[in-house]
Structure 1
């Protein structure tokens, strides 16, 4: 019989968390540790415990969270015995208790610790910065919206409301926006009235979106929370919980959100980053419908993610409807856009500046051979950081006017893509947009071994990429030089791969998405 360890009780007193663990099998723990899940800054802190045996094993254990580092990390319990190592899961009583009651520790003014359930109801202790949504005002809006939604649901069910949003509900420049714009401009008024876009008022796109103001839901407003509960369908470029306050404490709203159907527009084409544990049918954030751009990508989703092909329509990305080549031969631009690193997200500036990621790009921006090459060819290099690392943009700097550092949100990403002559990335799906426009793509994969270990890929990155692959900085400089000398012409061998990687290269992706949703709702 499989040994399962349950968390059956959690109590918090100041900075100390007390827990009761139970197992139906006899268990003799050798050690119990609280283990940090961050691969780049691993830590294991021993917990004090005592064991008793009746008809089951009962373990009393505790931890002073003041001993933990104040980083944005998740921690889990590891119970080690001679028979194996076990990660406790929350029993039904504790799952309900965490939602209904407040279990939190404030070790300082800026951080919050709280217990929660992870994938498979594993017990997690989450540490994250405090936000403006952790106050009583948000809690009151949530409860009021929840009660009102119960009354309105029978009436509103017929409205069949769609809610559209993007990452963190903080932008309107990706697939969500382009699909929303299509709906607002191409659908009849009676259809438009039931389609809304969620957007934070702090978004750089907030002023421009006011032309649709009747259909814009201010993020975390009472109306937004109410519509989240009453919607028939979410249509989004990211997971369900990007429509709500990020990393919330356990609450009833999140539980209701996770029960809603969602059409996943995707943030980009799948290929260079394995995400089936997140977006797979049995993952942490499963989808109802999953948009893809080719039969090849559809096979990835059916084989690795576990979805039936009928729920994986080949429709293309909504934002591609607006793509066109706007590169100017007289103003050559090399766009540099690396993807994020899970081990750097939400870390402090000191941690980030010591990372290989930061050091590698700062060294590149100061490379004299590169600067001379840019100067002699009258070429500009534009660096645009991934939104998950946007708070670190201020750490980058360059003395050269030919190196432009553009913060997230300052300029729409699709404008940078359309205006660039070439892209340098690592594993970012933005490479597909540039490749779609028949522009050269260079993959600078200086940390490929670590990336393969922590993320993995659906493509063989040594043989299947549709652009040159560089590991060393000197390789990258030489490759840039070659493309400058060829006037940024795409190589023939990469051109030939395009027909297998895109099912459509027209301007009808939004229409195909809309038609699929209407047919299947």
Structure 2
């Protein structure tokens, strides 16, 4: 049955690939025409000081850009904020009741992209316009604020978020938002940014996290990072990968499931959006393990509800650390991962804000220790985590808005 499903999925992917290839010339001319029309129509829009906000190529409203927009809608501002999102995106519901929401790719989106004086993005400038690389020259004079979608420390993102790479993609921001003076120094030393290009404000989504979350929810959040070398793999190749084997080994582990039963805990698995097409390969009839896709849920609810996190390299670990909750890093393929992305910005032996494990057995040992101690992180890791937060005052969004508004 599984082989039949694999063959069907592969066949559909091939059909869609050739369909996209055949339609590419038509789609290109279609967006160019829309863009030219929108340039003309934007001259008739009376609204000034437009700030266009987006994240993850317009696919979500649950990350740093969304939380900034939410704050802007609750605040009296000099600028007019607009949020762009795919109308079919699951998290569009988070924008219900908020004004100035544009559908990604619509003519109205194109018009306000041309009208905007400032772009705010969490991943790339394609968050606010898919064809940014084709039109960047006409908009290079506009203000650009890069919010990040997480603190850079555990994963370098080599060749993408360093200054030279962003400059090469014409995405160099006027301000690169960070969460601490410690992170600011890391970006200057290792990413090549200048001090005046960095703003220490804190991430906007941290404002909606409890600073001291003492209530126990009896929940563990497992949030693995994507591997670039698995991009565009079919199901057959994916289930043969080390990544798939290590993850299923964890889910099916007798020791893990016994620990969950013994301490009356459940495990929520939040997978990267690149994994969505493979999610059926993971699903089993688990009584205490549940799967979610990052694109389709409010990730922050899972982060707030967890008592501890297991991840490999995810920057989302800092959302958990912000709440003074423990994180275990399970890095079974660190050599290959860091060879692809570049090593972490901090020392993996002494500076990680949680224990770093390489094997399932060592992960189980660390997990048992934390469950035995009611999920209280050790003082060593609390101290390591605190360096990454200059603010814990829930005013990060306000500081970013002041940055955009030109206030001190």
Band of TM-score, shorter chain: 0.7 to 0.9
Aligned in 2, Cα 1:461/1:157: closer, same or farther, shift over 3 Å? farther
2:362 to 469, 475, 493: 475
The C-alpha deviation readout for 1:250-285, integer Å capped at 9, x for no partner, is 974466566743200100001122236222332134
Secondary structure of 2:74 counterpart = helix
Aligned in 2, Cα 1:184/1:158: closer, same or farther, shift over 3 Å? closer
Deviation of 1:243 (Å): 2.5
Secondary structure of 2:346 counterpart = coil
Deviation of 1:423 (Å): 0.3
* 2:397 alignment counterpart: 510
* 1:459 alignment counterpart: 346
1:216 maps onto 2:105 in alignment: no
Q: How many residues align?
A: 391
Q: Once superposed, which parts of structure 1, at least 4 consecutive aligned residues long, lie more than 6 Å away?
A: 155-158
Aligned in 2, Cα 1:350/1:257: closer, same or farther, shift over 3 Å? farther
1:282 to 161, 164, 174: 164
1:339 to 225, 228, 232: 225
1:149 maps onto 2:39 in alignment: yes
* 1:356 alignment counterpart: 242
Secondary structure of 1:198 counterpart = strand
Partners of 2:257 and 2:388 in 1: how far apart? 35
Conserved 8 A contact 1:166-1:237: yes
RMSD: 2.7
1:270 maps onto 2:157 in alignment: no
Conserved 8 A contact 1:146-1:226: no
Pairs within 5 Å for 1:282-301: 282-283=164-165, 284=169, 285-301=171-187
Secondary structure of 1:301 counterpart = helix
* 1:176 alignment counterpart: 65
Conserved 8 A contact 1:281-1:287: no
Conserved 8 A contact 1:157-1:232: no
Deviation of 1:133 (Å): 8.7
* 1:391 alignment counterpart: 277
Structure number, greater radius of gyration? 1
Partners of 2:272 and 2:214 in 1: how far apart? 22
Secondary structure of 1:459 counterpart = coil
Deviation of 1:375 (Å): 0.8
Partners of 2:17 and 2:381 in 1: how far apart? 48
Secondary structure of 1:435 counterpart = helix
Pairs within 5 Å for 1:47-196: 109-111=15-17, 130=20, 134=24, 136=26, 139-149=29-39, 152=42, 159-187=48-76, 191=78, 194-196=80-82
Secondary structure of 2:160 counterpart = helix
Deviation of 1:398 (Å): 2.9
Q: Which runs of 5+ in 1 are unaligned?
A: 1-70, 72-106, 113-128
Higher helix share: 2
Deviation of 1:149 (Å): 1.2
Partners of 1:222 and 1:207 in 2: how far apart? 21
Conserved 8 A contact 2:42-2:114: no
Conserved 8 A contact 2:352-2:384: no
Deviation of 1:176 (Å): 0.6
* 2:115 alignment counterpart: 230
Per the normalisation by structure 2, the TM-score is 0.88
* 1:6 alignment counterpart: none
Deviation of 1:224 (Å): 0.7
